[in-house]
Amino acid sequence: MEIAKLILEYLKVLLSSPALFSVIAIFFICRFTEDIKALLLRVAKIKLPGGTEVITTQRSRIAEEEKKALPEKTEISVQGIPPTLTPEQKQTIEQLIRAHIATAYLWEYGT
């Protein structure tokens, strides 16, 4: 009987809200470490209680962004255009596809 009460007390402690919250918080932090890191890198200024402010300089963010290597620019061949189109139509479609690729490149790398 004493062992059952002891086990019941351990379960009460393990299933209490602070313990469950801690387990969920640890899981969340471990699972989304890279996303949290990216979010914090975008933050420029944080106000903490008591009037304390944490400010990141633009210089440190620029240095971290420069570390990312940009992909090499290569000539893109557009394939899959139907052969039944006129040369003008093919050229127009190729220009549209290249414009979309350039927009995606700018969106991804910002340069």
72-82 confidence digits (pLDDT tens): 766 777 778 88
The structure's pTM equals 0.39
Task: State the average pLDDT over residues 62-74.
Answer: 66
Quick one: which H or E segment has residue 59? helix 58-67
In a domain, 52, yes or no: no
In a domain, 106, yes or no: yes
In a domain, 6, yes or no: yes
In a domain, 13, yes or no: yes
The total number of structural domains that make up the chain: 2
Sequence-distant (≥ 6) Cβ neighbours of residue 61 within 8 angstroms = 41
11-15, 36-40, 57-61, range with greatest mean pLDDT: 11-15
> Beta-strand (E) ranges in 1-111?
45-47, 53-55
Is residue 108 over pLDDT 70? Answer: yes
Which structural domain range is residue 16 located in?
Answer: 1-31
Helix, strand or coil, per DSSP, at residue 46? strand
In a domain, 77, yes or no: yes
Tens of pLDDT, residue by residue over 45-54, are 778 888 888 7
pLDDT of 65 reads: 66
Beta carbons of 55 and 45 less than 8 angstroms apart: yes
In a domain, 96, yes or no: yes
pLDDT of 103 reads: 84
Is residue 66 over pLDDT 80? Answer: no
